[in-house]
Amino acid sequence: MINYKECLMICLFTFLGIVSKAQEVMTPQTLWELGRVGAMGISKDGKEVIYSVRHYDLETNKSSTKMYAVPINASKKRGVKIDISIGESTKGNARAIKNSDQYLEDDKLSPNGKMKLYDKRIKLMNVNGSDLYPELELSNVQVYDDLMYRHWDTWADGSYNHVFVSDVDGQNELDIMENQMYHCPTVPFGGAEDYIWSPDGKQVLYVTKQKIGSDYAVSTNTDIYAFDLESKKTKNLTKGMMGYDVSPAFSKDGLLAWLSMPRDGYESDKNDIIVMEGDRKTNLTKHWDGTVFGFQWAKDGKNVYFTAPVDGTRQLFKVEYPGNARRLPLVKQITEGQWDVNGIVGEVGNDMIVTRTDMNHAKEIYKVDLKTGKMTQLTFVNSEIYNRTVLSRVEKRMIKTTDDKDMLTWVIYPPDFDPAKKYPTLLYCQGGPQGALSQFYSFRWNFQVMAAQGYIIVAPNRRGMPGHGIQWNEQISKDYGGQNMKDYLSAIDALAEEPYVDNDRLGAIGASYGGYSVFFLAGNHNKRFKTFISHDGIFNWRSMYGTTEELFFVNWDLGGAYWDTADDITQKAYNEFNPINYVNNWDTPILIYQGGKDYRVPIGQGLEAFQAAQLKGLKSRLVYLPEENHWVLSVQNGIVWQKEFFRWLKETL
């Protein structure tokens, strides 16, 4: 017989357990428990999305990846079930799969299915001492005669990425790049998207930068080349187009489209969609005041879908291809909301499959109704964690700048925010410098985790960020310590007027250009801040110019080399906008992170700054990550990063 009182108590404790679970906040450990979703593509039958989920294991310091399929038109029922054939649990309507090859088209197979494309590294240059002097096989000397001796996090070893074509069984292998010392996939971030088949299978198109050494270091001029399999001749399809030309893709009618930037040396130039029909090239987004992040042809071949930043978010757009019609291509925004559409997976019927994030949620897969923009969630990889986690409130505010502009600023509040209390507040300085401060979800600079520890975060879309028009985006170049620094201070000053912001506990944090911003503000903040945190920040422009690898970045944004004394703009950058020149004003505790394998902002930057802070007698700390590059990729290093971050704030704020 059921005891009524016992039943009541069980129900009560169950309810309290549910409430307790719902009151959890995001922690650094929980952040690393989240599954990281990677959309792989639409199944051959068009009925499922194939995706991967990567999980990190704190104890082994390693990651593992599993693959799943989820119906595009699924029932509304969701839950956790066991897939007996795979031996693991899956969420919602998803099912685990062993091999994605049986579900996805292989775009590296030729259209007739007889040949395949692939890439591999080949040794073309002697760099190592043992290469040059075989009798000294234990030597680890490296010898270089030109620049680009290291890139991102890797020293050059004389090997290059090359594209090969062969029979399906691997016979009759051909290096289509003819042993040239150029890379495809491009380094450091290029992938299989850098080379494709032509629709008739007679050509291979590939992206490369046909430059070496110093010429390579100062240029962004990648081109798209077509290699003819019969004649063995190569043609430059983008000759005379001087910036980045990447991401070639064909429509169903055989029209070639790609992303293009017009100016050489400017890595953050306006990115446009170019379509080639015969010898005619049409810029679909030339007259649209924005920059494209990624695109995909519509199945009908009459439109192109793309993602782009807009008003502090990233959304899905459509632009028509007008063909021979003499009219401006019409650009239409399809989605709208406080989120980022950060990837296009594929078109199915009247829907587009995309990935989406916001500042409270890691990436999941959605479908978008292309007529209405309505979004339907398909994957629920992290729902269990988020269902028991109290989310932060993310508020969009418009703040007046010193030149009377309206600046969008994201404000993220603690989950249990009480306007009657006072909170320590962090000014977040975005990197890039022209990176979009949108509704991204970072696994390091995670606003949800910061807010959950009791901090308000102020994240201004200062000058230099895309999504607010090209003029706003480009203003920052050659003005690093100018208007955008005023924008930062306008944002924190506006929030400091709120009664719930503790003006005695303000901090400034950031990485890369954001780290530079922190170093600069440390000498120019008029005692606003009580603490600073800089990760891989630029401290000394002269030594930065002498050790960074992609020199086009500093050449464009600073105007040239530090020895160019005749150029007033350049000298202003190296003097007035150089953080090292304001160290005498440093009066505030500072935490400095530095990656040992960061060759973009090399190790000397962090060490110089730490040494200056120590010799000035300031409370300061160096967190050195010897095996990390410009990012932090190891799970245990990531946890240490977070623990040091909050330990520092507890000590100083």
pLDDT digits (tens, 9 = 90+) for 22-48: 579 999 999 999 999 999 999 999 999
Distance, in Å, from the CA atom of 244 to the CA atom of 225, rounded to the nearest integer, reads 13
Per DSSP (E only), the strands in 528-615 are 531-535, 590-595
- Structural domain contains residue 439: yes
Q: What is the reported pLDDT for 25? A: 95
- Structural domain contains residue 408: yes
Which of these is catalytic: 479, 536, 598, 620? Answer: 598
Q: Say if CB 38 and CB 191 are below 8 A apart.
A: no
Is residue 145 exposed (0-12), middle (13-18) or buried (19+ Cβ within 10 Å)? exposed
Q: Which of 240, 262, 290 is the last residue of a domain?
A: 240
Q: What is the reported pLDDT for 478? A: 96
Q: Which of 240, 268, 302 is the last residue of a domain?
A: 240
Question: Whole-model pTM?
Answer: 0.94
Structural domain count, the chain: 2
Q: What is the reported pLDDT for 326? A: 77
At 255-281, the pLDDT tens digits run: 999 999 999 999 999 999 999 999 999
| Structure tokens that stand for 90 in this block | 């899956």
Instruction: Write the DSSP symbol of residue 392.
Output: P
Is residue 230 exposed (0-12), middle (13-18) or buried (19+ Cβ within 10 Å)? exposed
The CATH number of whichever domain residue 520 belongs to comes to 3.40.50.1820
- What residue ranges of the chain have pLDDT lower than 70? 1-22, 75-92
Which of these is catalytic: 260, 392, 438, 512? Answer: 512
Distance, in Å, from the CA atom of 411 to the CA atom of 397, rounded to the nearest integer, reads 7
- Structural domain contains residue 51: no
Clarify whether 311 is annotated catalytic. Answer: no
Which of these is catalytic: 162, 468, 525, 630? Answer: 630
**Which three-class secondary structure state does DSSP give residue 462?**
coil
- Structural domain contains residue 70: no
**Which three-class secondary structure state does DSSP give residue 151?**
strand
- Structural domain contains residue 611: yes
Q: What is the reported pLDDT for 90? A: 54
Q: What is the reported pLDDT for 19? A: 44
- Structural domain contains residue 625: yes
- Structural domain contains residue 631: yes
- Structural domain contains residue 353: no
Q: Domain limits at 170? A: 106-240
Q: Which of 187, 206, 240 is the last residue of a domain?
A: 240
Clarify whether 598 is annotated catalytic. Answer: yes
**How many Cβ atoms from other residues are within 10 Å of residue 29's Cβ?**
12
Greatest extent of the chain over all pairs of C-alpha atoms, in Å: 95
